[in-house]
Amino acid sequence: MSKALLSLALIVSSLVGSACSAKESGQEGRSGNWKSGGQGSPALEACRKRVSEHPADAEAQNDLGWALRQNEDLKGAESSLRQSVKLNGNLAYSHSNLSVVLLDQGQKEEALAEAQKAVVLDAKQPIYHVVLGNAMSANGDAKNAIGEYKTAIAFRPDYENAYYNLGRVLDIDGQATEAKVVLSQALNLDPQDTRVVKLLDQLMK
């Protein structure tokens, strides 16, 4: 799996409950600060058990899909997430998670479509706007991607990953000065984000 695609892909924070929970809606990142390394890894076997007991449960299929993605089984993740969407097309987090997994695999156009569905279903979740921004960026639409990252930050001013992606795409869009400012903000929120340090170093040369 491409490390570049993984770093673009986001980013959905997953916390494990007594059974299996992987919905990103309302979840927070590392130390509750929406930082870059906040992705949890749901208990894979617990998720599998839940799906085996409740195969028609869209949430269970979503949770298994995210657990599989976190364990680097992208094909399995895609299959479970597609099943989740098929069972219940109104779960915004299933569309968002499917977008992430599709983007991981380079399926950029479909990733964009799924990310758009998530935002239509729930426009107030900042993470969905970052997922959409990543899909837009991957499809060459830097201008609209920038808008999505800014929307995410407006909802969640401490969302460090949104600042990183905003800086990354501002740089792609030729706005190097603006990118440096935004990346500096990201670094203030998370001094340990090596992605930000590396990109800032490149821009300062």
Cβ 177 vs Cβ 201: under 8 Å: no
| pLDDT per residue rounded down to tens, the chain (205 residues) | 333 333 333 333 332 233 475 444 333 333 334 454 445 556 899 999 999 999 999 999 999 999 999 999 999 999 999 999 999 999 999 999 999 999 999 999 999 999 999 999 999 999 999 999 999 999 999 999 999 999 999 999 999 999 999 999 999 999 999 999 999 999 999 999 999 999 999 999 8
Q: How many domains does the chain have?
A: 1
Handedness of CA 23, 26, 27, 29 (dihedral sign): positive
Q: Count Cβ atoms within 10 A of the Cβ of residue 198 and give its class: 0-12 exposed, 13-18 middle, 19 or more buried.
A: exposed
**Encoding tokens for residue 202?**
């490149």
Domain residues for the domain of 144 are: 3-204
Question: Which amino acid, residue 184?
Answer: S
Other CB atoms closer than 10 Å to residue 61's CB: what's the count? 27
End-to-end distance of the chain based on CA atoms, in angstroms?
30
- CATH number for the domain spanning 114: value is 1.25.40.10
Q: Count Cβ atoms within 10 A of the Cβ of residue 105 and give its class: 0-12 exposed, 13-18 middle, 19 or more buried.
A: middle
**Encoding tokens for residue 136?**
């837009």
Q: What is the pTM of this model?
A: 0.83
Question: Which amino acid, residue 93?
Answer: Y
Residue 59 Cα distances to 18, 148, 165, angstroms? 15, 26, 28
3-state secondary structure of 96: helix
Rounded CA-CA distance 40/150 in Å is 25
